[in-house]
Amino acid sequence: MNFLTLLDYSPEQINELLDFSLVLKKYQKEGVPHPFLAGKTLAMIFEKSSTRTRVSFEVGMSQLGGSALFLSSKDSQLGRGEPISDTAQVLSRYVDGIMIRTHGHEIIEELAKHSTVPVVNALTDDFHPCQALADIMTIYEAKGTFKGIKTVYVGDGNNVAHSLLIACAKVGMDVAIATPKGYEPKPWIINEVESICQETKATFQLTNDPVEAMNGADVIYTDVWTSMGYEEETNDRLEIFKPFQVNNRLVQHAKDDYIFLHCLPAHREEEVTADIIDGSHSYIFDQAENRLHVQKAILVALMSN
């Protein structure tokens, strides 16, 4: 089994991963050894830069008793045009799992197709499922439940938004997203989220009005306005997204006890003001830490005997 997108996982499986993540977090905090992957090796392929992803996966494998190998595209044969299928088959004979952070989602699908060991999606242009699992874990820790919780995403309908919407819908959270016109999530993602919400009895709202979305929010989430690969659009996006900044005026429409989330890195005074992201409602560092714990749970679920 692989971990490519949360669309492949049932609500029950997602909740099991969250439960195990909480157990692993408790072990780590209490200094309880948990070498579930002793002797196992994870190959980590990076075609996009990273801080949290690389560190959390490397530390996670170490805490689980295994080891991790860093492979950048420029330092491997992938950078010289080796077919993904060849890379998958070779690595499968060396390691026990493959993690990849790459561009097109078709790349990771091709890798998984030819790999005989589990493949983990650490980010593609369409999905960021590890981040989304950490997001909903943080929400659960802060709110104690998913029932009756409304999560609102404001900004670009990107890979982070895709996976967050799916994750919230899968666990039965109400979810809303506000984007500028033309920057909505991909239509097929919207269709998937609407279908999931029908099954889990959650609500889904898509709007171009951030105030409308923010009404009654328990959780406010945003991301950078210009994701990797779209740098040439930066100046245009700065103007287009101005009304979608998370600031004191916008959060007045949320509940008084809202929490603020951001997948980081953040651009203070662009998508969010400093007083919000550094204020008392912010859970961004708990959220970042939880990447470690959910990824350990994923790795154990996929690679453990």
**Residues 141 and 265 grouped into a single domain:** yes
**Residues 38 and 155 grouped into a single domain:** no
Residue with tokens 């009756």: 148
- Report whether 88 contacts 98 (CB < 8 A): yes
**Residues 143 and 88 grouped into a single domain:** no
pLDDT averaged over every residue in the chain? 96
One-letter amino acid for residue 202 of the chain: A
Q: Is 114 annotated as a binding residue?
A: no
Mean pLDDT, rounded, for 97-108: 96
pLDDT, one tens digit per residue, over 137-154 is: 999 999 999 999 999 999
What CATH number has the domain bearing residue 104?
Answer: 3.40.50.1370
% of residues, the chain, pLDDT over 90: 92
What is the C-alpha separation between 122 and 302, in angstroms, rounded?
14
**Residues 116 and 182 grouped into a single domain:** no
- Statement: residue 82 has pLDDT above 90: no
Give the per-residue pLDDT at 49.
82
pLDDT, one tens digit per residue, over 173-184 is: 999 999 999 999
Query: Could you say which of 237, 263, 281, 295 is catalytic?
Result: 263
54 labelled catalytic: no
Task: Give residue 92's region: left, alpha or beta (phi > 0; psi -120 to 50).
Answer: alpha
Residue 88 falls inside a structural domain: yes
Residue with tokens 């662009």: 270
Q: Is 264 annotated as a binding residue?
A: yes
197 labelled catalytic: no
291 labelled catalytic: yes
CA distances (Å), origin 228, targets 50, 74, 123, 243 = 11, 17, 11, 22
Tell me the two tokens of residue 214: 């923010």
> Which is it for the CA torsion 40, 46, 52, 55, positive or negative?
positive
80 labelled catalytic: no
- Residues in contact with 79: Cβ distance below 8 Å, sequence separation at least 6, in sequence order: 72, 73
Fill in the DSSP letter of residue 256. T
Boundaries of domain holding 56: 6-128+290-304
Mean pLDDT, rounded, for 292-296: 98
- Report whether 129 contacts 6 (CB < 8 A): yes
Mean pLDDT, rounded, for 32-58: 95
Domain count of the chain? Answer: 2
Global pTM reads 0.96
- Statement: residue 80 has pLDDT above 70: no
**Residues 166 and 230 grouped into a single domain:** yes
**Residues 45 and 171 grouped into a single domain:** no
Whether omega before 33 lies within 30 degrees of 0, making that bond cis, reads no
